[in-house]
Structure 1
Amino acid sequence: MADPLLLNEPFAELLQGIAQCATCGVEYDAASVPAICPVCADERQYLPPDGVQRWHAPTVESAGIEVVELEERLFALRVDGGVGIGQEAKVLVTDAGNMMVDVPAAITADAVAQVATLGPMRAIIPSHPHMFALQSAWSAALDGAEVWIARADAGWLGRAPGNLRLWDGEEEVLPGVVAAQLGGHFPGSAVIHWEGDDGRGVLLSGDTIAPNPDGRTTTFMYSYPNRIPLSGPVALRVAGGAARFAFDRLYGNFAGSILSGAREAVLDSAARHAAWTSGDHDDLTGPAGRSG
């Protein structure tokens, strides 16, 4: 039977019953939306400056989505417009089926069709609650692909996907593709390690480890918008967890990446982070406040 989404017949049915927070783009059950989005009320996100909670009724073409090939068998879904924080989902293509890592806050018939042509979707894995977005609709559109939610972060679900799978620790989701919860940003914050088409290794790091604009270093934050860093010991722990895997390249959940030497960059960046947060370089910050 042809997929009704691709025929554009009951497309809107996929979005019935869903409300999105207009600020973060995370989905909720429309019949029971909270007074304030708890994801935004948490200090890792933010409420609108005017303090007014706004809910968005998602539509099929509320934003544009471009499917971009990043490297062999790895694609990005880049959203233009719509609501939310503008994350960039990734689609990983393997011989055993495909995986979506992080989820767009929008959905379009064209993007679904392009993703479907890449092969069967076996799993959808948001790296942490800020990435929950329209995961129910994407799962339904892609033949009910399982949505993997870290058990430690399941309390942030505002809407349970129809094909929900709770997971803990570390699992090989597909042959050669391992999901690992390293914590830090959220207790269940995860990374995805893939051997890569060239065998050198790729880490899809979400917000667990964020590539910096220089393309050579990373950062480790409890709250990115509010600039609250993780402690040095936690950054070192997260980096050490990632370094158990061999990877040459790293892609975050926005447009940032490190395209060579990524494993070493993560370890070096964690050491730098730990040194600054522990006060090792306070002598470089100026004389203000010094006694005497």
Structure 2
Amino acid sequence: MENFICMTCGIQYGETGAPPEHCLICEDERQYIGIKGQRWTTLSEMKKSYKNRIEEIDANITGIGTTPGFAIGQRALLIQTPKGNVLWDCISLIDDATVEAVRLLGGISAIAVSHPHTVGSLVEWSHAFDNAPIYWHADNRDWVMRPDPAYVFWEGDTHPLLDGLTLVRCGGHFPGSDVLHWAQGADGRGALLTGDTMQVAQDRRYVSFMYSYPNMIPLNARAIQHIVDMVEPFAYDRIYGGWWDLIVQNDAKSTVKRSAERYIKAISA
């Protein structure tokens, strides 16, 4: 029995004797089947060809990503706080070197994810760190591909984690898509960790919002405005996107507002 991993989206599935016939994540219209068809791998196979890059991004926040790039190429973020560390989003590969490095940084007390595309092998990560709870919005419950007792299905619009960290449900990309507000981030000015609930643009002066990024399906104006409204009560000056180097370094709250205005203007023309 193996926990197979989809090579296109990077999601690990529950144990089966043979690779699943379908990846439900990739067959959804927000994702896609790879050009070479449905392909699967396992953690043991990945360890032969891949390793993880672990790199401090700012004070008390560390990026963890896989090299060479795998699946959609996101990197996870580890926030270190005096009351414990939170892993935001996840990746497919976890190995002994990664576990040792993360333990030296204080381990993982909780895991939270923005949406079902950036979860990788999160159950393996939970098990490696004393069954750390996995906070997953209940509106995305049907997209759990490897069920486990570690899941904590939260409901509503906000959910506090620990030490100034708050999950904020924004919707848009998925009904339960969320962001993580870090009150102590950006030297106390506040930060958002957004995955691609808000996708940091390549020029890093704007963010964007989509129902499907790879298939280029936009969101409507009401959904975009809802995302902006949900983060409005929070103070934040920086945004950490879901991929290496995609960071809005300052004035992030104004960036979100003008990005939404630009997007709504473009789709309303």
What TM-score, normalized to structure 1?
0.86
Q: SS of 2:43's equivalent? A: coil
1:114 lines up with 2:104 in the alignment = no
My pick for the range that moved more, 249-258 or 112-121, is 112-121
Which residue of the other structure, out of 39, 46, 52, is the alignment partner of 1:54?
39
How far, CA to CA, are the matches of 1:142 and 1:176 in structure 2?
A: 22
My pick for the range that moved more, 257-266 or 119-128, is 119-128
CA contact (8 A) 1:82 1:106 kept: no
Runs (5+) with no aligned partner, structure 1: 1-15, 280-292
Matches within 5 A, 1:120-269: 120-169=107-156, 170-197=158-185, 198-255=187-244, 256-269=246-259
Which residue of the other structure, out of 14, 21, 32, is the alignment partner of 2:6?
21
What CA RMSD, in Å, does the superposition of the two structures yield over aligned residues? 1.5
Matches within 5 A, 1:87-106: 87-106=74-93
How far, CA to CA, are the matches of 1:93 and 1:22 in structure 2?
A: 30
CA contact (8 A) 1:135 1:161 kept: no
* Alignment-mate amino acid for residue 45 of structure 1: Q
The count of residues paired between Structure 1 and Structure 2 equals: 263
Q: 1:83, CA displacement in angstroms?
A: 3.8
Question: 1:73-122: per-residue Cα shift (whole Å, max 9, x none)?
Answer: 01110211364211110000001101000001111211211111111412
Aligned counterpart, 1:35: 21
How far, CA to CA, are the matches of 2:53 and 2:39 in structure 1?
A: 26
* Alignment-mate amino acid for residue 54 of structure 1: R
How far, CA to CA, are the matches of 2:70 and 2:63 in structure 1?
A: 18
Aligned counterpart, 2:68: 81
How far, CA to CA, are the matches of 1:154 and 1:34 in structure 2?
A: 20
Q: 1:71, CA displacement in angstroms?
A: 0.7
Aligned CA distance change for structure 1 residues 166 and 234 (closer, same or farther; 3 Å): same
My pick for the range that moved more, 74-83 or 234-243, is 74-83
* Alignment-mate amino acid for residue 41 of structure 2: H
How far, CA to CA, are the matches of 1:79 and 1:173 in structure 2?
A: 26
CA contact (8 A) 1:232 1:274 kept: yes
1:274 lines up with 2:264 in the alignment = yes
How far, CA to CA, are the matches of 1:96 and 1:181 in structure 2?
A: 23
Q: 1:148, CA displacement in angstroms?
A: 1.2
Q: 1:55, CA displacement in angstroms?
A: 1.6
* Alignment-mate amino acid for residue 248 of structure 2: I
Q: SS of 2:250's equivalent? A: coil
Following TM superposition, the consecutive aligned residue runs of length 4 or more in structure 1 with deviations greater than 3 angstroms are none
How far, CA to CA, are the matches of 2:205 and 2:69 in structure 1?
A: 31
* Alignment-mate amino acid for residue 232 of structure 2: A
Question: 1:239-286: per-residue Cα shift (whole Å, max 9, x none)?
Answer: 12122211000011112110000011001100110111111xxxxxxx
What TM-score, normalized to structure 2?
0.93
How far, CA to CA, are the matches of 1:211 and 1:243 in structure 2?
A: 18
How far, CA to CA, are the matches of 2:149 and 2:60 in structure 1?
A: 27
How far, CA to CA, are the matches of 2:11 and 2:107 in structure 1?
A: 25
Q: SS of 1:130's equivalent? A: helix
Q: SS of 2:262's equivalent? A: helix
